[in-house]
Structure 1
């Protein structure tokens, strides 16, 4: 089971880089969740992929023989927040520091996990599912995040999620022993994204 000392929570982004990286590999959510919870997460991912008419692939379902262009999540996502996280912060992160991304397609994905490009966010609707932040919450994403935190023996959580993403995991903190530091940027709206990215970099490098 993957051990994580500090877990940072951030949102995915609508803007994504295209293409693939042949060497795309890294610790995945499957190494940090109990088997039953991983199976539940995979089932939910498959439902979102089907609603979005996305082809099957091992990034959504490890048992799938389908193919998809993949690259590490922290490279794939290209929103304003991600542009303020320097490459060396990702590559020189302290041991035991991991970033979990709350994702419209994947639910939860670790920062080095290989993912595809997809064209929607948690703030949007998909046919048959409705608003994705509500769908994920109602289908157990808060419990899956809590399971990740417990199973990986996380000692500290830094929550840098934005509003819609907080809604998707609302309730995950109940019963947790690990302290949660929620960082907000009131009144800034989209202008908070650069500061959010800089805060991620500080945690990765042990400066926060």
Structure 2
């Protein structure tokens, strides 16, 4: 099982660990694309603070994020699972998982990123600010920049099992499963049952809880149909219908009564 996650806007501080070692990151097929984004982002933030703030879409209160980006090569690095914070990651609570669940998390969780493309939760990275929606002056839109490299790398990473896609729309634009990989992919949205609407906070929180439930329960569904049954067994209310065409991703709705 491969679980595709969005990052979080909020991030923990880099701390005082050893600095980034790009060659140590997983998915080495993304190395060239990573280097291109890192080079331009660091140069932009080090040379023109006002332009960097405009490009990154930062408010005046977040101006400090620019200096952080300028020091990415020397800042301390920590496991990505510690860097990413926010609602989904609070609900997932990787630190409190037992040893077996943590091992499974390092194998199966893949976090998409405007800067790194995608990383496993044990990849050591510094704190940064660069969303997938950014359009860098030289490279252009980051989702488009990542698309070619992802198309070569991600099908192999997906292996032969279930792909559980929990990404937001901006990050989903960097890689869309195709062919037989699409046929074993399930994307999930979380709806407030009374209104049938997506509400950001509990959408993220419920996705974090879903991943945690699967990891803690040692559940590894073979495909989308098995995922639906597994989630129902875990107590989730799931609506799903098998695609009418082959090699098409499943869409699952998880219904939540209370917003919390």
- TM-score by length of structure 2 reads 0.60
What is residue 179 of structure 2 aligned with on the other side?
Answer: 174
What is residue 137 of structure 2 aligned with on the other side?
Answer: 127
Distance of aligned partners of 1:115 and 1:94 in 2 relative to their CA distance in 1, 3 Å threshold: closer
Distance of aligned partners of 1:143 and 1:80 in 2 relative to their CA distance in 1, 3 Å threshold: same
What is residue 71 of structure 1 aligned with on the other side?
Answer: 78
Deviation at 1:96, TM superposition (A): 4.3
Distance of aligned partners of 1:52 and 1:69 in 2 relative to their CA distance in 1, 3 Å threshold: same
Task: Let me know the Cα RMSD of the aligned residues.
Answer: 2.9
**2:110 touches 2:118 (CA, 8 Å); kept in 1?**
yes
- TM-score by length of structure 1 reads 0.73
Q: Residues of 1 paired with 2:102 and 2:77: CA distance?
A: 25
Question: Which protein is bigger by CA-based radius of gyration?
Answer: 2
Unaligned runs of 5+ in 1: 1-5, 56-65
Bigger relative contact order, structure 1 or 2 (CA pairs below 8 A, ≥6 apart) = 1
1:149 aligns with 2:149: no
Equivalent residues in 2 for 1:1-208 (5 A)? 6-20=1-15, 22=17, 30=26, 33=27, 38=28, 40-53=29-42, 67-86=74-93, 87-89=95-97, 92-93=100-101, 95-97=103-105, 98-137=108-147, 139-150=148-159, 154-170=160-176, 172-176=177-181, 179-185=184-190, 187-191=197-201, 192-205=203-216, 206=218, 208=231
Distance of aligned partners of 1:100 and 1:90 in 2 relative to their CA distance in 1, 3 Å threshold: farther
Higher helix share: 2
Distance of aligned partners of 1:202 and 1:79 in 2 relative to their CA distance in 1, 3 Å threshold: same
**Number of positions where the alignment pairs a residue of Structure 1 with one of Structure 2:** 179
